[in-house]
Structure formats: structure tokens, C-alpha cells
Structure 1
Amino acid sequence: MGHADDELAIRSLAAAYTDAVNRRDGEGMAAVYAPDGILEAPSAGSPVQGIEKLAKRFKRLVEEEREFLMQLTHSGVVEIDGDRATARWWFSEIKRPTGKGFEYILGTYQDEVVRLKSGWRFARRTVAAPFRWKLPSDGISTQDLPQFLALTGLPST
């Protein structure tokens, strides 16, 4: 696999995670990690390590803790060094924690990525979301979402 192929595979890995987030697929969110992969979100407490614990955490997030979650991954940089790489991705997110109002977030993922027999996987993702705004609830309705958002698990029109 050449350098360009490796970079494309790592970019696809980040895209697969975001796709799983938006489909509300906790198992899919965990599947992009190495078996002993780590998610570190300092604002959310202790790091979570291991694919089983990650899957459990992500399933709880999308099934119980978020009524709505839509994430967009923006620009990213990837630096490859043999079978290891680092990457940084900027993201935005609109979420509605269960029982609360909508929030808009801007943040980054700082990634350590490793090549396994199964392909590139996240060895460690550190997420920081320093920019957060509560959105006004007036005029926001999940009942008016287009059909394609049915993938998120929300009722569509």
C-alpha cells in the first residue's frame, strides 16, 4: 500500500466513524478502533479503553443520552510514519442531550492511528470541544427533517 492509499484509508476511517455517529450505530462507532483503542474526552471523565467498553459506551450515548446527534467532520491532516500515523480533524456537531435543549459544538479529534492486519484503526482518539453554544429551542423541530435523516433513528416525515 502506498502513502496515498494509506492516507485515503485513514480518511475513510474518520468518515466511517462520523457515518456511524449519524446512523446512531454504537457498534459501528467502536469498530474503527484497535482492540485496545482508547477514547479520551477530558471533559467527559476517564478515558475508555478496549473495543467492548467503547461499544458499550457508544451504544449508551446514542440510545439513551442523545435524542438527536448530527456530526460533520471537516478538514483534516494526516501524517504517516510506517505503520503508525497521526491525524487531526475539525468537526461540528448539533446534539440534543436527552431531556435538554439543542447545542452546537465545534471541536477537534487528535488521533493516533495504527495499521493492523484488518487495516488502519484508531489507537487513541482525544476529543476536545471547546466551543459550545446552547441553541434556542423555538422553531427547531425534528418532525420536519428530510427523509434521509431517517438513518439517524429519528422519525421522518
Structure 2
Amino acid sequence: MRRHTIASATALFLSLIGCAGSPQKTLPSGAHLPGTANIETYPVEHLAVRALIERFSDAANHADWKATEEMFTEDAVWEVQAPPPMGWTFEGRDAIRAGMTGNLDRVELRVQTVSPTAIQVQGPERATARSTLDEVLRFKDTGKDVRIVGTYSDQLVKQEGQWKFARRTFIPRFEEPLPTRSGN
């Protein structure tokens, strides 16, 4: 039994790094594979979805709004489910672009880290993901730093060979002001 587990783990590892082929299986719509079976069935999709989520954080950290915008479908929805003024919903790529660039005058610094990420591939062109975001923001008008921790729930689709966000929903779970910087 131990030998079978090691062989399965080795095959998964090799397929994830691209050293071995992995036949793609098509599941009925909404099908759910328990445990690591979903990863073993869709290793490339898992890596691609994880890469999209990580690229999003990288682009946000470096204010690369053009790259961020291209990660969404044309009709995507991006929302933060929180009381005003923090909560908002952007519908469509144009609204997402306007929302992202609309904060340029308010936010001096954004540093976000995403972990862990749970991905469920539903087929070669559909997936869902849930990730934890830890973000620090510095606001220009006050110089105050705020730390926000919450959960992203994503619906993703593959269009023209690229995974994109069809819907991103962020639910804040924790927010705290950080100590004031010396000299302020």
C-alpha cells in the first residue's frame, strides 16, 4: 500500500512540473472529485488558476492595472461584501478598470499576500477557488496604515486558452489599524 501511495504522489508531482503526461478527463457539469483526485485529473488547470490568483496580487502590489484588468472577463463582477464605505460592486471590465484606477488618489501603498488557495476544477474551462488575502494599505490623506484579512471566492472560466475571473467576491474577516509611523 505504501508503494502505491509513493508511486501516485510521484506521478502527480511529475505531471505538475510537466515531466509526465496526464490525460484530461471530462466530468459532468458540477461534478466534484474528492481529495486530491481533482488535482490529479486537472493538474495543469490547477496550476494555471493558482498562477492567475498570484499574478493578480502581484499586479495589485505593483499598481499594474492594465495587467489586472486583462485578468477579468468582459462581463466579470468584482465585489467586496462589506458595509459602506468599504463595500462595492463593479460589473463589467470597464467598471472594474474605473474602480481600480479610481483609488489611485487614495492609496499610497498596497501590499497583499494570498494564501492558502483551494481550487476545484469543474471541467477544462470552469473552476472555483477560495483564497485568503492579507493586505496592508496606506492611505494618502491620513498616512494611516490598515491591515485587512479576508476571503476571496472566485468563479473562473477559460477563454481563448487563458483563465480569467468571471466573478471575484471578497469578504473581509479582520481589519485593524497599524501603529503610526514615527515622525507622523
Match of 1:155 in 2: none
For residues 29 and 56 of structure 1, the distance between their equivalents in structure 2, rounded to whole angstroms, comes to 12
Deviations 1:88-119, CA, capped at 9 Å, x for gaps: 01110110122121011111100001111141
* Corresponding residue to 2:165 among 109, 122, 125: 122
* Residue identity matched to 1:92: D
For residues 11 and 138 of structure 1, the distance between their equivalents in structure 2, rounded to whole angstroms, comes to 34
SS in 2 for 1:47: strand
Identical columns (%) = 26
Is residue 2:119 matched to residue 1:78?
Answer: yes
For residues 140 and 28 of structure 1, the distance between their equivalents in structure 2, rounded to whole angstroms, comes to 35
Q: Does structure 1 retain, via aligned residues, the 8 Å contact 2:81–2:172?
A: no
Q: Does structure 2 retain, via aligned residues, the 8 Å contact 1:27–1:58?
A: no
Q: Taking structure 1 as reference, are residues 36 and 140 closer, same or farther at Cα in structure 2, changes over 3 Å only?
A: farther
SS in 2 for 1:137: coil
Deviations 1:23-81, CA, capped at 9 Å, x for gaps: 112222221111111101122344211112111211122x2120111011111000011
Q: Does structure 2 retain, via aligned residues, the 8 Å contact 1:25–1:59?
A: no
Between 21-30 and 7-16, report the one with greater CA deviation. 21-30
SS in 1 for 2:118: strand
1:121 Cα deviation from its structure 2 partner: 0.5
Q: Does structure 2 retain, via aligned residues, the 8 Å contact 1:41–1:127?
A: yes
Between 23-32 and 66-75, report the one with greater CA deviation. 23-32
Taking the TM superposition and a 5 Å limit, the aligned residue runs for 1:9-28 are 9-28=48-67
1:139 Cα deviation from its structure 2 partner: 3.6
Is the helix fraction higher in 1 or 2? 1
* Residue identity matched to 1:119: Q
Q: Which has the larger radius of gyration?
A: 2
Is residue 2:143 matched to residue 1:104?
Answer: no
Q: Taking structure 1 as reference, are residues 9 and 55 closer, same or farther at Cα in structure 2, changes over 3 Å only?
A: same
> What is the aligned length?
140
Query: TM-score, with normalisation over the residues of structure 1?
Result: 0.82
Is residue 2:55 matched to residue 1:34?
Answer: no
SS in 2 for 1:6: helix
Runs (5+) with no aligned partner, structure 2? 1-22, 25-41
* Structure with more relative contact order (C-alpha pairs < 8 Å, separation 6 or more): 1
For residues 140 and 31 of structure 1, the distance between their equivalents in structure 2, rounded to whole angstroms, comes to 39
Match of 1:93 in 2: 135
For residues 7 and 97 of structure 1, the distance between their equivalents in structure 2, rounded to whole angstroms, comes to 35
Point out 4+ residue stretches in structure 1 off by more than 6 angstroms.
none
Runs (5+) with no aligned partner, structure 1? 142-157
